[in-house]
Structure 1
Amino acid sequence: MPLFRFSRRPTYVTCRGRDDGGGAQIAACVSTMIYARLRRATYVHSPLQTVAHAPLGESTEDWSARWENFFSLGYGETQASSLSGIPENTLAKPHRRSPRSGKLNVVAHCHKVTDHHPEAWASIAPELRRKYEVSPKPEPPGFDENFLHIAVHLRRGDVTADGRFSERFSSTDRLLPALRRHFSEERCRLHLYSQGNAEDFPEFAEFDPWLHLDEDAFVSFHGMVTADVLFTAKSTFSYLAGIIGDGEVVYEPFWHPCLPGWKAL
């Protein structure tokens, strides 16, 4: 009697269906890439479709395409559009259920799994960096080789100390002493990335900062990636910049984990 060997059908996982900000959507896709590795599945890329906060005069479609092209997460990956014959499975809680084999498992994010694996976030960083370098990047203003460049991201604008989203507000109580320690050693230039007006940041006057206020999101992001030292905020935006960049990262604790090699503020 012949022996039959049963092979496991491929398991596919993709991230889609979100309509929040670009940083959150990119982080969700990265968490899905990590999740697929942890579950021995194949990550399948679905391009970003509906990214929030499009600038005035720019369509959501064009804004979403800019985010998609800037990070190039789909570069070298299987595309969801190529799996039209594979049945889909909505995986609402990937932290509780495993992806189904023979299906295209659709998730919104996998943070409840991957945030327990900071080493996996660190190990995927070189691959993210290679993808990031596929598309051209803007020249960040104020950078030259004569300085050690220190970037600070502060959540402001819709984030206040005592109002809505107050849990995302970055206090300067621990930040300023940490900055002074860095400035005591090298010829440094501080780049402050935030929203508002120059008079909103009087506590940074001693550093003579280069202010990047309400700057184009992609210019700001690449500046943080380029920096020699990055102080992240409670934000996936600067968190991703810390992962993709290869400088020192000083991490402000929030809901995503501190990566190996980072310093907690």
Structure 2
Amino acid sequence: MNLAEFKYKAERKLYGYYYNRIHKEPFLKYCSHYTSYRHSLKHNGDGSCVNYITARPNPGAGIGHQMANWMAGYHLAKVLGLKFANIPFSRYHHPWVPTPWNDFLGFGENETSYKDLLQNGYKKVLLPQFNEMDEEQFDVIKKIIASYSDQKVVFLCEQDQFYRDLNTLIPYLQQKFYSASARENDKLVYDSSNFNIAIHVRRGDIMNDPTNPNLVMRYLSNDYFEKVLEQVVEKVKTITDKPVHVYFFSQGKAEDYPEFAKYPNFHWCMDMGAMASFLHMIYADLLITSKSSFSYKPALLNRGIKVCPENFWHGYPDSADWIMVDNEGNVKWK
């Protein structure tokens, strides 16, 4: 760990301690700790400026989590009538060290840079974290934004501002991904003459800390995935004459998953890198997801069929290409 990373992590830990303490307070009292809220009590703004908003991808989190942060900011720009400012995905934030995921996803292409805005005279204004579905809280945020409408500012969401229905952004996300210059470099092991099924089985962090309730709720057994895959394969055989091939993305080794030994044309992909795995989930003809951001985000970009656990913390579209599965592994075909 270098000095910049140590400094950043120390600052975030101290801020996290303070934030966790004040966030337990009633909403308006919690907001009173923010300069932006106090400003809104004294100013109205004159509407002369259309400002920007952004959400920082949490540099200490995985790419799925970071994408959710980025998407929350992108969504809020639309519902609040603001312009969107891009903060790249990174490993840590001081100094910024963008990861290859930025070029790979292409989300920041043709977007205004948050860093450039600050260098060109825009002021950063931190917003309190809020529940968009709570009318009172959302009104407070709108009043804060209106109070700065006579200044050049870029609003920064509190870290991990939540947005459940990321699926509403699918058209924008797919347009960005499929038009990104990185698509010229995509390489797949799939054969287009086959029907290619990708299945993601989340293990890794869950198995490392089986007593953590936040991880336990993400666990689905091998039996669950085998039951889902069996139903999927039988269904696929009724809709295509193509040979069915299954690509298995997880951690560990083949011996950890004896339930899948019976399947022909089965490909173990545990040694495939994270970005390559993500790409193959996107391009699968059918994707079976886990309770995991790492397969939910490819599902948002996938143009094929998605088979997903119905109890998840983000929303799904009500469309024919999204198929739900109950906790017992029963696929609810449409």
TM-score with structure 1 length normalisation?
0.83
Distance 2:179 2:68 in 1: 14
Shift of 1:135: 4.7
Q: Whole-Å Cα distance in 2 between the matches of residues 119 and 229 of structure 1?
A: 17
Letter in 1 for 2:218: R
| 2:259 matched residue in structure 1 | 203
- Percent identity for Structure 1 against Structure 2: 24
Determine which of 152, 156, 168 is the counterpart of 1:120. Answer: 168
Q: Give the equivalent residue in structure 2 for 1:47.
A: 88
1:26 positional shift: 1.7
State yes or no: 1:264 paired with 2:316.
no
Deviations 1:204-261 (A, max 9, x none): 1122421110421111011101100001111111111011120111112321112232
SS at match of 2:307: strand
Contact 1:45 1:80 in 2 (8 A): yes
Contact 1:48–1:68 (Cα < 8 Å) also in 2:
yes
Larger Rg: 2
Give, in whole Å, the separation in 2 of the partners of 1:233 and 1:152.
Answer: 8
Q: Show the counterpart of 1:92.
A: 128
- 2:230 aligned with 1:180: yes
Taking the aligned partners of 1:137 and 1:24, their CA distance within structure 2 comes to 25
- What residue number does 2:300 align with? 243
Residue 152 of structure 1: which of 199, 204, 215 is its match?
A: 199
1:26 aligns with 2:101: no
| Matches of 1:195 and 1:129, distance apart in 2 | 26
Cα pair distance change 1:138/1:127, threshold 3 Å: closer
* 2:50 aligned to which of 4, 7, 10: 10
Note the alpha carbon deviations across 1:84-109, whole angstroms, 9 max, x for none: 21111112314332362442111234
Tell me, in whole angstroms, the C-alpha distance in 1 between the residues paired with 2:184 and 2:297. 18
CA-based RMSD: 2.5
Alignment gaps of 5+ in structure 2: 1-45, 132-136, 326-334
TM-superposed CA distance for 1:182, in Å, is 2.5
TM-score (normalizing by structure 2): 0.67
Question: Does the CA-based 8 Å contact 1:34-1:124 persist in structure 2?
Answer: no
Q: What's the CA shift string for 1:122-145, capped at 9, x where partnerless?
A: 34343333354545444232x102
Q: Which amino acid aligns with 1:221?
A: F
Residue 121 of structure 1 and its aligned partner are, at CA, apart by 2.9
Which of 77, 82, 98 aligns to 2:111? It is: 77
Q: Which consecutive residues of structure 1, in runs of 5 or more, have no partner in the other structure?
A: 1-5, 53-59
The one-letter code sitting in structure 2 at the alignment partner of 1:126 is Q
SS of the aligned residue for 1:159 comes to: helix
Residue identity matched to 2:262? E
Report the AA paired with residue 30 of structure 1. M
Instruction: Report the alpha carbon displacement of residue 119 of structure 1 after superposing the two structures with TM.
Output: 5.5
Equivalent pair of 1:140/1:220 in contact (CA under 8 Å): no
- Cα distance change on mapping 1:41 and 1:206 into 2, 3 Å: same
Q: How many residues align?
A: 247
Judged with a 3 Å threshold, the aligned counterparts in structure 2 of structure 1 residues 218 and 259 are, in CA distance, closer, same or farther, namely same
Amino acid aligned to 1:139: K
How far apart are 1:8 and its partner, in Å? 4.0
- What is the letter of the counterpart of residue 149 of structure 1? N
Residues 130, 156 of structure 1: alpha-carbon distance in 2 compared, 3 angstrom cutoff: same
Q: Secondary structure at the match of 1:206?
A: coil
- Distance 1:139-1:167 versus aligned 2 partners, 3 A rule: same
Three-state SS of the structure 1 residue aligned to 2:110 is coil
* The structure with more helix, counted as a fraction of residues: 2
- State whether residues 138 and 218 of structure 1, in contact with CA within 8 Å, keep that contact through their aligned partners in structure 2: no
The one-letter amino acid paired with 2:315 is P
CA distance in 1, matches of 2:202, 2:53: 32
